[in-house]
Amino acid sequence: MALLGYFSLSIFLNSLGNALTVAINLGSALWTAAAVNLSNVFPITLSVMLFISGALVILTNILILRRFEIKRILGNLIFMVPFAWLVGAFETWLVKLGITTLPLMLQVVLDCLGIILIALAISLYQRVNWMLHPVDDLMQIIRFKYFKGNATLAQLVVFSPPIVAILISVLVTHQIYAINIGTLFALLFQGTLVGFFDKYAFPKLKHQKLDEKL
């Protein structure tokens, strides 16, 4: 029951954090920012683009692990459905609340808070290790398979594909979305924050079943 509580909290925090950054539009976490930019290239909604990008990362994870695990893939898909829907729902709700009319400095603080909530959520559900968003599954694979648990280095590697996607989107649309101070904050600190929360947020919660997942 404790693990279920941590897992439910992590989905809520991750969705709310991403929605904060998208609604305020002062910079989203890089994968979300990439989805926002790509959704302006293709005629599809942000929720659908988040789902598509997640599916592509699932294929990447299969290639890295060199094995096809139905249980793991189903977990990724089950995670993505409420996550993608909640991000869209929270974004709409926050905009209706008038979050974009707040003073600029407060919006900057809330945008960075969104990144912090995302890092806390990643720390929680990586430790629970039941179901992961494909991107965070990729980060965990790289983190423990290649970087001896270093969250900062693993996060920087995982940020490479969305950076490329954003650059391509900008070349097509000649506009850039969801890239601002929050994106820089995520690039510099998200991985470090994950490692920090591993130690200090619910410290009794340890990484579960890593050997089975790598």
Number of domains in the chain: 1
154 within 8 A of 122, measured Cβ to Cβ: no
> What pLDDT does 211 receive?
76
49 within 8 A of 39, measured Cβ to Cβ: yes
> What pLDDT does 106 receive?
95
> What pLDDT does 185 receive?
93
Q: pLDDT by residue (tens digit) across 173-203?
A: 999 887 889 889 999 999 999 999 999 999 9
Q: For the chain, which residues score pLDDT lower than 50?
A: none
133 within 8 A of 80, measured Cβ to Cβ: yes
Question: Which domain does 103 fall in, by range?
Answer: 2-213
> What pLDDT does 47 receive?
79
61 within 8 A of 134, measured Cβ to Cβ: yes
